[in-house]
Amino acid sequence: MYVVIKHLTKLKTPQTCHGKQLVQRARECFLLNECLTLDFEGVESISIGFFQEAILTLVNEFGADFLKCKLQVVNMSPAVEAIMQDAVIRVDGYVDRLMTLHQETVDQELYDLNLAWLVKVRTVARENALQALLIMGIADEELRLAVAKLSMDEMQALARSGCLCFAPRFTSQFIQGFGQRHHDLVDLLLAFTAG
């Protein structure tokens, strides 16, 4: 996905609300496992709120390592870069506000789902790589090993992210045809592990 920042608003300086719009687009992009390019051509200034809502929220949700692979920033002026550096200096206050907000607005059902899944996947990942693949859908060996090392504090932080920590393992074709015929256990297993 390619986003031209100056197209987010008619204002000369993108604000906090535009950062929130950008985060929504980025989430959609990353959920499709696509790369995102942010083009700052013609943008001479941004608000600190835009930077905090856009960039810091994405770092908080997806992590710096993920963003290094999936996010590219182009055509940034020295003035915008200076504003971003200044915003980084003020990051402690922003992170404190963000953590308070997350603690106040956690969707309890989503948190419970995430935490239950993370606890189960950690247990399975520690005990049996094949079960981690077949039962929990963890095909990546490095991911399995990383999940196996998660602490309870880390799992709780992930569960509070506001995003579901796991994804459906079946195709749209499988779901569309699901009610049209009887499926036995082998059909279900093959559908879930096909990816």
The confidence score (pLDDT) of residue 194 equals 54
How many Å apart are CA 53 and CA 17, to the nearest integer?
8
Per-10-residue mean pLDDT, the chain, length 195 = 88 87 90 89 86 81 83 89 75 60 66 90 92 86 93 87 79 68 58 54
Q: In the numeric block, which tokens belong to residue 64?
A: 């710096």
**Phi, psi angles (nearest 5°) of residue 136:** -100, -10
* Structure confidence by residue, pLDDT tens digits, 15-43: 888 889 999 999 888 888 899 999 999 88
Three-point CA angle 20, 71, 139, nearest 5°: 105
DSSP tag of 6: G
> Which domains are assigned to the chain?
2-105 (no CATH), 108-193 (1.10.4000.10)
> Cβ(111)–Cβ(157) under 8 Å?
no
Cα 90 to Cα 61, 94, 100, 112, distances in angstroms: 19, 7, 16, 32
Question: Can you give the pTM of this predicted structure?
Answer: 0.47
